[in-house]
Amino acid sequence: MFMRKPVFMLSIAAGVFTLGVAAIGLAADAPANPVALGSPVTEAQLANWDLIVAPDGHNLPEGSGTAAQGLAVYQQKCAACHGTSGEGASGSPALVGGSVSTTPPLLTVGSYWPHASTLFDYVRRAMPPTAPKSLSNTEVYQVTAYVLHLHGVIAENFVLNKNTLPAVQMPNRDGFIDVSAN
């Protein structure tokens, strides 16, 4: 290993030298941006990444949905992996049920997550894993409501939107310590 290091460094040096020669070659008819790295990011492209919803619901989008509406979304886009009732399956976690008090605890969205906004945020950005960001905001509100309803957190026709979602009381909301407040 010790002997290999100088060889490695030499090859890097050779690479830099080659690049340097290439750059000199290009310099003859140098464009305004000789490095030509990347292209400007548009506002529309940024909007597709600026999606993080804070625990207090900050940055939740417009739209709304109920569990009754979310049933269809869940069956089509989630049930194959997470089970028809959110019970999970091999390789995909249970979303509802469980308890933080059993030994061992069964930590699910329903039993463990302190903020409902996190469910919206996670599903919008990561689920289904085969096609993240493919759900509309309305579909995410609907399926979020459905998962919360499966755990008995909200009623079937409770309307989730950017105002009501942050106020949803999760069962384990007091199970964490906010170290930033100490």
- Contacting positions for ligand HEC (CB under 6 A): 77-78, 80-82, 91-93, 95, 108-109, 119, 122-123, 127-130, 143, 147
Nearer to ligand HEC, 134 or 169 (CB): 134
Compute the distance between CA of residue 3 and CA of residue 13 in angstroms, rounded to an integer. Answer: 17
Amino acid at 35: V
Nearer to ligand HEC, 127 or 153 (CB): 127
How crowded is residue 41: how many other Cβ atoms within 10 Å of its Cβ?
Answer: 9
- How does 17-34 read in b/e, with b if 16+ C-beta sit within 10 Å? eeeeeeeeeeeeeeeeee
Least separation, in Å, of the C-beta of 143 and ligand HEC?
5
Among 64, 70, 62, residue whose Cα is nearest residue 86: 70
Least separation, in Å, of the C-beta of 71 and ligand HEC?
12
Nearer to ligand HEC, 6 or 91 (CB): 91
Least separation, in Å, of the C-beta of 79 and ligand HEC?
8
